Amino acid sequence: MSNSITMFKKDLFYKSLKQAFVKLNPKSMFRNPVMFTVWIGTFIMLIVSIATLFGVKEQGSFAYNVAVFLTLFLTLLFANFAEAIAEARGKAQADSLRKTRQETPAKLQNGSVVSSAELQKGDVFICESGDIIPSDGEIIEGLATIDESAITGESAPVIREAGGDKSSVTGGTKVLSDKIVVQVTTQPGESFLDKMITLVEGASRQKTPNEIALTILLAGFTLVFIIVCITLKPFADYANVSITIASFISLFVCLIPTTIGGLLSAIGIAGMDRALRANVITKSGKAVETAGDIDVLLLDKTGTITIGNRKATHFYPANAIDEKTLIRAAVLSSMADETPEGKSILELAGINPLSYEVKNPVFIKFTAETRSSGIDYENTRIRKGATDAIKGLVLTAGNQFPLEVENRVKEISQNGGTPLVVSENEKALGVIELQDIVKPGIQERFERLRKMGIKTVMVTGDNPLTAKFIAEKAGVDDFIAEAKPEDKMNYIKREQSEGRLVAMMGDGTNDAPALAQADVGVAMNSGTQAAKEAGNMVDLDNDPTKLIEVVEIGKQLLMTRGTLTTFSIANDVAKYFAIIPALFITAIPALQGLNVMKLHSPESAILAAVIFNAIIIPLLIPLALKGVAYKPIGASALLRRNLLIYGLGGVLVPFVGIKLIDMVLSIFF
């Protein structure tokens, strides 16, 4: 996916400029109360300009009125252009995705070939090396190397296989090796790529709660200044001052927060666009915005905090148990274990399990409930799993759980390893040690989150001792050990009940309930369909640490909106000093003291303020689209910095800008 779309591309610029005129439709303008009032003022100024052309003298000169009309018209165009350029960037991204989507032949299991458009949910197709995957689905048989660069932009191929949490494939990607059997999980037109295109285009974008609240606030400001301008008329009559319609409208437009009113939609659209550039598809702008307010972050240990695959490093037999007996039981219990841990046990043992020639084996799969797996054959029952699960089996059968095994489990856990206890016929044989490696630099990432005021929680299926060791080593604030799906969801509910916003990342079907419950749920693109449906974001890169970046994007969105609102409101201060003296300075000479900018004339002062009010919008478009730079320095420090830069800057910049414009206008007025 292209990430290099800028507002300065020629075709993008012209498309946006055209849309800026299209958006002048009153039905479109009505959605933005602030700019709609500017639209009304512009329409009135058009009528006034025509009236002065035909000899109405009391409303000022024709040239002056036309200048005000054109400036207000440009204000509307600039505001519309800001929204249009943000939307156009999304549409350009959508066009690149459309090139990925194509009618692809699908080979069904029965040997027939149909178009990808004819595939229905539940159909099963086969893909071999070189084939384009025709539709979204779950691999039900086989393993393959897949090129997902058309979707993610990442050139490195990935491995997808049946079973586990890496079984999902996306239509439009290419099989590079091997053969897979895939079951379709979506109806035609509802594929992941179709949804991406709709979301990226902004067709389904709705205003977020924060954006709605700010719109209401700006509408309130607008209403207040309508009343201010109306009540100014009796004061002018009392002072025997004649104020033209152009002056009233100019004052009103300059007082209301037109800058943020014109940029508000662009900021929201750009927030979703920045998430897309980070290869995160968001199902709504609300998800991005909520990420900026997150209080608690749930992260899986494996693959996020640790390197990923735990490896077996030692076999520790119980007293009076031969090591070969323990190894034999460990190998047989891992015979059908497709997990990286199970494979590493066979690798450490260096024995082919088929060499034991067991008859009529029945394999017991690992489940979140039993937290153990194994094999039954003849009169033998072998299990390997979490300590308390195997201990429960042993004690339930009336056998003793060896003290040396318990001590070894504690020792492994305290050293940051994961112990797997092996039993045969409900008798403990010993322990297998698995080791995790904490990712380098992860501590610094968690420190950044801590500075943002975010509590980090590690979620793991490990026992509490192991979980505690890894949590302390990684620097997380809390952990959930021996986590079952309901444990994650209950933890999220408890935090939410105390008024906190919670984010979570997951890729498995067992993560779906927690992803749905979390305020921000980020699903892996490689994960199961259930996880992707449950979350409100999908990470195309399958990077478990992407949540940290998502949080920063959310905070940047909120900061950008807040700082530009501050700048917009602060702007009004200078405009007071330009327009108010200009209106009354002839009748009330004492107001000359307020003319701190020493503006040339009332006409040039008013026009300079209106022109500055217009041109500041396009000047701030790049900032609205790029976002204000974010640093994790704490809320109070951020507030101080933004008030200093954008608050003070919003007051000082208009003084300079209006004065410079007035100097140019003094030639004509």
Does residue 204 have a pLDDT over 50? no
341 is in an annotated binding site: yes
429 shares a domain with 332 = yes
Which residue has better confidence, 88 or 621?
Answer: 621
Using a pLDDT cut of 70, give the percent of the chain over it: 90
531 shares a domain with 582 = no
In order, the DSSP letters of 18-59 are HHHHHTTSHHHHTTSHHHHHHHHHHHHHHHHHHHHHTT--TT
User: What is the pLDDT, as a whole number, of residue 201?
Assistant: 57
* Residue 5 covered by a domain: no
pLDDT, tens digit, 9 for 90 and up, residues 113-127: 888 878 888 899 999
Alpha-helical (H) ranges within 278-314 are 285-291
d(CA 23, CA 175): 44
pLDDT, tens digit, 9 for 90 and up, residues 459-475: 887 778 778 888 888 88
d(CA 480, CA 296): 13
Does residue 39 have a pLDDT over 50? yes
Which domain does 139 fall in, by range? 120-187
Vertex 345: Cα angle to 342 and 346 (nearest 5) = 95
In the chain, the number of structural domains is 4
Q: Which helix (H) or strand (E) holds 364?
A: strand 362-364
User: What is the pLDDT, as a whole number, of residue 69?
Assistant: 94
Among 658, 515, 561, 567, CA closest to 210: 561
317 shares a domain with 425 = yes
Q: What is the DSSP letter of 643?
A: I
Q: What SS3 string covers 367-423?
A: CCCCCEEEEEECCEEEEEECHHHHHHHHHHCCCCCCHHHHHHHHHHHHCCEEEEEEE
Residue type, 221: F
Using a pLDDT cut of 90, give the percent of the chain over it: 21
pLDDT, tens digit, 9 for 90 and up, residues 134-143: 888 889 988 8
pLDDT, tens digit, 9 for 90 and up, residues 581-611: 777 777 677 777 777 778 788 888 888 889 9
78 shares a domain with 134 = no
Does residue 95 have a pLDDT over 70? no
Question: What would the mean pLDDT of 314-327 be, rounded to a whole number?
Answer: 93
Across the chain, mean pLDDT equals: 83
400 shares a domain with 313 = yes
- Give the best-scoring range by mean pLDDT among 301-305, 325-329, 367-371, 432-436: 325-329
Tokens of 13: 């610029």
Instruction: Select from 417, 437, 457 the last residue of a domain.
Output: 437
User: What is the pLDDT, as a whole number, of residue 207?
Assistant: 66
233 shares a domain with 84 = yes
205 is in an annotated binding site: no
- Residue 280 and residue 152 in contact, taking contact as beta carbons nearer than 8 Å: no
Question: What would the mean pLDDT of 226-252 be, rounded to a whole number?
Answer: 85
Tokens of 418: 């994961």
366 is in an annotated binding site: yes
320 shares a domain with 301 = no
384 is in an annotated binding site: yes
* Residue 244 covered by a domain: yes
511 is in an annotated binding site: yes
Asked whether the whole model's pTM tops 0.75, one would answer no
152 shares a domain with 27 = no
Does residue 248 have a pLDDT over 80? yes
Q: What is the DSSP letter of 220?
A: H
d(CA 317, CA 381): 18
Does residue 202 have a pLDDT over 60? no
Instruction: Select from 406, 437, 468 the last residue of a domain.
Output: 437
User: What is the pLDDT, as a whole number, of residue 589?
Assistant: 75
- Residue 1 and residue 151 in contact, taking contact as beta carbons nearer than 8 Å: yes
- Residue 363 and residue 337 in contact, taking contact as beta carbons nearer than 8 Å: no
* Residue 560 covered by a domain: yes
Q: How confident is the model at residue 36 (pLDDT cuts 50, 70, 90)?
A: very high
Q: What SS3 string covers 529-558?
A: HHHHHHCCEEECCCCCCHHHHHHHHHHHHH
450 shares a domain with 429 = no
472 shares a domain with 419 = no
d(CA 134, CA 126): 10
Question: What would the mean pLDDT of 238-260 be, rounded to a whole number?
Answer: 86
Among 132, 134, 130, 96, CA closest to 114: 134
372 is in an annotated binding site: yes
Does residue 183 have a pLDDT over 80? yes
pLDDT, tens digit, 9 for 90 and up, residues 358-378: 888 999 988 767 888 999 998
d(CA 32, CA 42): 15
413 shares a domain with 343 = yes
d(CA 106, CA 125): 6
Which residue has better confidence, 324 or 156?
Answer: 324
User: What is the pLDDT, as a whole number, of residue 91?
Assistant: 67
595 shares a domain with 558 = yes
d(CA 53, CA 481): 80
* Residue 246 covered by a domain: yes
d(CA 210, CA 641): 22
Does residue 508 have a pLDDT over 80? no
Neighbours of 370 (CB within 10 A): 16
Instruction: Select from 509, 540, 571 the last residue of a domain.
Output: 540
Q: What does DSSP say about strands 124-128 and 174-184: parallel, antiparallel, or unpaired? A: antiparallel
Q: How confident is the model at residue 2 (pLDDT cuts 50, 70, 90)?
A: very low
d(CA 552, CA 556): 6
Does the annotation count 541 as an active-site position? no
Does residue 1 have a pLDDT over 50? no
Choosing from 300, 436, 543, 662, the catalytic residue is 300
370 is in an annotated binding site: yes
439 is in an annotated binding site: no
